[in-house]
Amino acid sequence: MSKILTRSKRKSYDWLLNFKSVTEWIVDTNKESTQRERITNLSHFCKKTNTTPQTLLDQTPEEISVLFDRTFKELKETLRDRSFWKMRAAVNNFLRYHNKKIEKPLGERQDEYGRFVKIPMTEKVYGWLLDYDEINLWINDYKSTGTRDGYLSCMNYFLDHSKLKPPDLLSLSPEEIIKKYTLVKQKYIKEGKNETARKIYIVLRSFFDYHRRRIPFTKRDKVKRTAKRTRIQQIPQKEEIYRMADSAGSLRNRALILCLFQSGVRSNCIRRWTYGMIKAFVEPKLTVPIHLKITSDIDTKLINYQLTYYYTFLQDEAAEALKTYIEWRKETEGWKPKDDDIVFASESYRENGRPLYHDSVNRIVKRSAKKIGLDPDRIWAHLLRKSFRKMFYKAPIDNDLAEALMGHKLEGSKENYFDRHDLGWIASEYMKAPFSREGVGRLNQIEKEIREKDKAIKNLEERITKMERILDISKKL
């Protein structure tokens, strides 16, 4: 029995234990500290509003909503913010448990299910910029919505403070542009917004480069990045990554961690994996290694390297985890995958095919790291990509091939002479990397087994030869 249900007159919430609706609700919460916090806040609410739990449950949702609007408005004026929100959360949780959830009116930016809908770019603060061809031609060169939003926002800051319009930018002389940029830069630096000033510099460089305008920016014009805090990273070892995957909490999270590790892709890329990418390797039978063609649509950073695509692969453990997750979705959710369906879809909006958010991928990695005793502040999703690179240091693989498997452009003329189409050779070299739990690459393990068998056969042949000699000698005698 929960200690919370032990009666004591010293407890402020002791009187609530007379109500069966309260005891049923509080026992349903596993953590004792959460139980105590919720029942205490419910007690405070009932005492301040002269109500009882049963009175709350006897009222209709409309009556409760009126009570909430009136009482919580009064309570907010007398309580601290934190106390107020804790009290409100406890009461909401109690009502939700007894199916008395209050339906909130939908806002302008919510759909029929209460989910927030993104504001169209044209309706945002910087939407007016899209009326100009100079801006449209430039910004459409970027495919990432995050990059587009960020660049347009910074351009809006600059034009607003400079009191200019996009066509004016291209008509100004280089000296005038630098002068106006310097004024804006100094303004933001004085306000302590160095990062905004740095982004405006990058955006202006990008805009003028696109329109073939050479602006003589110097090193002095560039704003240096100032780190707010030093992040001490801890690149996880292979054994730690497998422990993280085993304690990830779900088949999806397990497959996600192993795929990040064995493919070496960026976290923003794995969110966009589609079923069509892996279909030929998981149906009807699993084929290892799984070939993954990463294009600039999936990994938008490839544009920075002037690459249209690169190949990476998955070894046994990640491939099996991925197939197990897909089979589970088919059986439990009745998923009938199409080629353009997202593989690692959000659990809440899986029916809509919404991919995981970038923060969600990071959260999965951090939570798994915490479960095995690692510091979550020192581990994030991108570090699994660094673990991927470390595996090639331990394998007899050419450094250029390792860089190509990470989606990097090779230096100088090496890129022109590297054959990205020879998938058979690239895959066989990749399989030499020791990604498996046993500590050696799958191909190396096979070669080792073959050598051991050859040695056993050779020993057997020597024994047969000795036996034949003994038989010949016995016959002569």
Contact 355, 344 (CB under 8 A): yes
Q: What is the pLDDT of residue 371?
A: 93
Contact 325, 255 (CB under 8 A): yes
Residue 294: which H helix or E strand, with range?
Answer: strand 290-295
* pLDDT, tens digit, 9 for 90 and up, residues 213-239: 999 988 888 888 766 555 688 999 999
C-alpha span between 94 and 22 (Å, rounded): 8
Q: In terms of DSSP H, where are the helices of 341-477? A: 358-371, 382-393, 399-405, 414-417, 423-430, 442-476
Contact 358, 268 (CB under 8 A): yes
Write down the domain spans for the chain.
Answer: 3-97, 121-210, 238-430
Q: In terms of DSSP H, where are the helices of 121-221? A: 133-139, 145-162, 166-171, 174-190, 194-210
R_g (Cα) of the chain, nearest Å: 32
List Cβ neighbours of 305 (8 Å cut-off, separation of 6 or more).
Answer: 407, 408, 409
Contact 322, 282 (CB under 8 A): yes
* Structure tokens belonging to residue 153: 């926002």
How is the chain split among helix, strand and coil, in percent rounded to 5? 60, 5, 35
Return the biggest CA–CA distance within the chain: 117
C-alpha span between 172 and 175 (Å, rounded): 8
- Residue-wise burial string across 199-228, b where 16 or more C-beta atoms lie within 10 A, e elsewhere: bbbebbebbbeeeeeebebeeeeebeeeee
What CATH architecture is 238-430? Orthogonal Bundle (1.10)
Q: Is 432 helix (H, G, I), strand (E, B) or coil?
A: coil
Q: How far is CA 326 from CA 250, 361, 364, in A?
A: 12, 18, 18
C-alpha span between 406 and 456 (Å, rounded): 40
Q: What is the pLDDT of residue 136?
A: 92
- How many CB atoms are closer than 10 A to CB 476? 6
Q: Which residue has the tokens 């990008």?
A: 206
CB-side neighbour CA atoms (13 Å) of 47: 12
Contact 435, 441 (CB under 8 A): yes
C-alpha span between 56 and 63 (Å, rounded): 9
Q: How far is CA 344 from CA 83, 275, 295, 326, in A?
A: 38, 10, 17, 10
Q: What is the pLDDT of residue 302?
A: 87
Q: What is the pLDDT of residue 324?
A: 94
Q: What is the pLDDT of residue 255?
A: 95
Q: How far is CA 216 from CA 1, 201, 253, 262, in A?
A: 75, 12, 49, 44
Q: Which amino acid is at 93?
A: N
Exposed (0-12), middle (13-18) or buried (19+): which is 308, by Cβ within 10 Å? Answer: exposed
* pLDDT, tens digit, 9 for 90 and up, residues 153-177: 999 999 999 999 999 999 999 999 9
* pLDDT, tens digit, 9 for 90 and up, residues 248-282: 989 999 999 999 999 999 988 999 999 999 999 99
Low-confidence ranges of the chain (pLDDT < 70): 1-2, 9, 81, 101-117, 226-231, 348-352, 439-449, 476-477
Q: What is the pLDDT of residue 1?
A: 46
Q: What is the pLDDT of residue 208?
A: 94
